């Protein structure tokens, strides 16, 4: 049985092997991005889950609300869905848990009576201030062995890939 993360070396002269390489899941970009994202998220999540009892989706919502709060703003669940690219059901579920725990507050949106504005509570802000340094420290650990140019190139390529995917998604609607 093949290990999908480490495909066997391919023989250029062997057409069957070359064809197989074209269809290896391990070389499929969406799969590579997904497993890299999951590995990084799981590492960070494990570090703050033990201490704060937060799941990945809950932390993502808190992180985005924390950034918005730093800029003086509150967000709707739709804003959170767009900012995190998470499914709206997952965002809704995370918001409910965070609200029940007293980490976020929900107020009526005066500009749109059908939605609410969400923000971190004082306790949510305190947790955000504690978790962000942990997350940034983990990020530094992940980039150990990368030069500054490599780190900048990776960030740039990821942003370009995200933007390109967004453009392609708009053309398929």
Higher pLDDT, 162 or 18: 162
For the chain, percent of residues with pLDDT exceeding 70: 87
- Specify the DSSP class assigned to residue 25: G
Quickly state the pLDDT bin for 17 (edges 50, 70, 90): low
Most confident of 21-35, 59-73, 102-116, 148-162: 148-162
Q: Is the pTM of this model over 0.85?
A: no
Can you give the pLDDT at residue 16? 52
The DSSP annotation for 65-133 comes to HHHHHHTT--B-HHHHHHHHT--HHHHHHHHHHHHHTTSEEEEE-TT-TT-EEEEE-HHHHHHHHHHHH
**SS3 for 3?**
coil
CA 131-134-137 angle, to 5 degrees, is: 150
Most confident of 5-19, 109-123, 154-168: 154-168
CB 79 within 8 A of CB 116: no
Residue 25: how many other CB atoms lie within 10 Å: 13
Strand-pairing partners, residue 107, are 117
Quickly state the pLDDT bin for 66 (edges 50, 70, 90): very high
Question: What's the CA gap between 114 and 116, in Å, rounded?
Answer: 7
For the chain, percent of residues with pLDDT exceeding 90: 58
CB 67 within 8 A of CB 84: no
Strand-pairing partners, residue 117, are 107
Question: What's the CA gap between 165 and 122, in Å, rounded?
Answer: 36
pLDDT tens digits for range 37-64 = 989 988 888 888 888 999 989 999 999 9
Can you give the pLDDT at residue 12? 47
Tell me what the pLDDT averaged over the chain comes to.
Answer: 86
What is the number of residues in the chain? Answer: 173
The CA R_g of the chain, rounded to the nearest whole Å, is 20
Can you give the pLDDT at residue 34? 92
pLDDT tens digits for range 95-146 = 999 999 999 999 888 888 788 999 999 999 999 999 888 889 999 999 999 9
């Amino acid at each position: 049985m093949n290990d999908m993360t480490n495909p066997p070396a391919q023989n250029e002269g062997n057409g069957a092997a070359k064809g197989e390489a074209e269809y290896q899941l391990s070389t499929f970009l969406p799969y590579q991005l997904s497993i890299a994202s999951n590995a990084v998220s799981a590492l960070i999540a494990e570090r703050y889950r033990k201490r704060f009892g937060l799941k990945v989706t809950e932390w993502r919502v808190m992180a985005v609300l924390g950034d918005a709060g730093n800029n003086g703003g509150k967000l709707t669940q739709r804003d959170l869905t767009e900012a995190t690219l998470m499914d709206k059901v997952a965002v809704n579920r995370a918001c409910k848990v965070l609200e029940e725990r007293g980490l976020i507050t929900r107020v009526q949106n005066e500009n749109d009576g059908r939605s609410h504005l969400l923000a971190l509570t004082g306790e949510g802000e305190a947790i955000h201030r504690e978790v962000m340094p942990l997350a940034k420290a983990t990020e530094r650990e992940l980039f150990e062995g990368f030069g500054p140019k490599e780190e900048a190139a990776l960030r740039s390529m990821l942003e370009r890939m995200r933007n390109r995917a967004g453009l392609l998604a708009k053309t398929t609607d």
